[in-house]
Amino acid sequence: MEDEVFDQMVLVFNTLVSWVAAGAMVFGGVVPYIPQYRDIRRTQNAEGFSTYVCLVLLVANILRILFRFGRYFETLLLWQSIIMIGTMLIMLNLCTNVRMATELNTKRRSFIATDSKDEEIRIPKRHFVDFDWTYFWSWSRFMDYVQCVLAFTLVAAYITYLLLDSTLFVETLGFLAVFSEAMLGTPQLYCNYQNKSTEGMSIKMVLMWTSGDTFKTGYFLLTQAPVQFWTCGLLQVFVDIAILFQVYYYSRYPQKPVSHTVSHTTSAKAL
C-alpha cells in the first residue's frame, strides 16, 4: 500500500516537473523582454535596444514553423515560436511609437525657438512600400513592419511548398531557422559596440537570455532534438556571454560620458 502511494507521489511529481519544464520552454523565451519593455516605456527611450533583435527572432521563428512541415518536432517548440512572434511585434510597436514621439518632440523643441506652430512640424515618413533600403527596418509606422513580416512569410512559405520534398532544402531550412536565432544577440552586441556603452539595454534581459538559452540547449540535448537545435543553442550561449562581458567592460572602462534620460511630457506618453 505504501509503495503504491509512493509511486503515485512520484508520478504526480514527474508530471508537475514536466508541466513546469513545458511552461518554461513555451514562455521562457519571452520573459527576458518584459524588463526591457518596461524600461523603454518608463524612460520613453528605445535607443539602447536594437530592433534588429526583433528582426532576427521574427525570421528565425517563421523559418522554424515552416521547418516543421518538412520535419516534425515537438508541439511545445511550435507554440514557443508563435508566442515569440507575437512578443516581437509588441516590442516593435512600442519602439516605433517611442521613436516617432521622440522625433516629434525634437522637431517641436526646434520650432519653439522660431515661434512656429505645431501644424508646421513635419516628420519625414518612411514606409516599407517605398522599398528604400536606406531606411530598412527603420520605418515610421508599425504597420510597415507587419507588411514586411507578412511579405517574408508568404515568400518563404511558397518556396517551402515548392521544395518540401527535398531533404537538403528541409535540413537547410532547419539550420537557417536555428542559426538565425543563434545570432539573436549579435545586433545588440554590435549596437553596444557602436555606442561604446550598454546604457539603455536591460541587463536583466541579457541575464535571462543567458539562463534561458542554457536551459533550452540542455533541453534540446536531453530530448534528442535535431542536431541543428542544440549546436546553435551553444553558439547562442557564447554570444550572450560576450554581451555580458561588454556590460562589465564598458562599466569598468567607460568610453563616453553617461547621459541622463530626460522624461518626456505626458503628451509623448500616449502609448
Q: Which residue has the higher pLDDT, 206 or 88?
A: 88
- Global model pTM greater than 0.75: no
The three cell numbers locating residue 6: 509512493
pLDDT tens, residue by residue, 255-269? 755 444 433 333 332
pLDDT tens, residue by residue, 6-45? 667 777 777 776 677 667 667 777 888 888 899 899 988 8
pLDDT at 265: 33
- Residue 240 · residue 206 · CB < 8 Å: yes
Q: Domain extents for the chain?
A: 1-103+126-252
| One-letter amino acid for residue 189 of the chain | L
How many whole angstroms separate alpha carbon 271 and alpha carbon 262?
18
User: What percent of the chain is predicted at pLDDT more than 90?
Assistant: 22
How many whole angstroms separate alpha carbon 195 and alpha carbon 192?
5
3-state secondary structure 19-49: HHHHHHHHHCCCCCHHHHHHHHHHHCCCCCC
